[in-house]
Amino acid sequence: MHGRINMWPKHMLCGYLKNRRNRESTILKAIEDGAKTLFDIVAHTYADVDRSLWVPAASNVRLHVDHLAQQNKLPKEFSMQRFQSTCKLNFFSRWIWEYLRSSLYIKHRRLQVIKVVGAGAVAAVAVLYSIRQILSSKKNM
């Protein structure tokens, strides 16, 4: 345990629960507005948060989406299978690209090279992952 002693734990707990309900309603709103991937939901829900924190935020979003699914609160057209398929490399590669894009505001020619190299690296990782998925699905046949 860390921090000072809380004299009003009930008030603190109610604040945590309120924040959790608000976050869950924001995630549900993102899904209702058409977000289908983990990245889209995180980008909508945490738009005002530093992108370096989106990776841990993604874990939080996954838990909320699972909770919404258990409660049958997700829209009928939302596919959990598709959502789960975007939770690994797909999210990470899109996050890397967004993080690089947002943190490297392109003002000089030199930085454009970094942008192109970063995009190429992300694309290469995504292609290698796709090839691995294809090969592993063929082995299972």
Q: What is the pLDDT of residues 38-92, one digit of tens each?
A: 999 999 999 999 888 999 999 999 999 999 999 999 999 999 999 999 998 889 8
* DSSP secondary structure letter of residue 141: -
Please indicate, yes or no, if residue 51 is contained in any of the structural domains.
Answer: yes
Total of domains in the chain: 1
Q: Is 10 helix (H, G, I), strand (E, B) or coil?
A: helix
Query: Containing domain of residue 86, as a range?
Result: 9-139
In a domain, 4, yes or no: no
Domain-embedded: residue 3 = no
Residues ≥6 apart with Cβ < 8 Å to 79: 36
Asked if residue 130 is part of any domain, the answer here is: yes
Which residues have CB under 8 Å from 112's CB, separation 6+?
106
Q: Could you tell me where the DSSP H helices lie in 71-108?
A: 80-85, 89-103
Nearest-angstrom CA–CA distance, 123 and 83 = 20
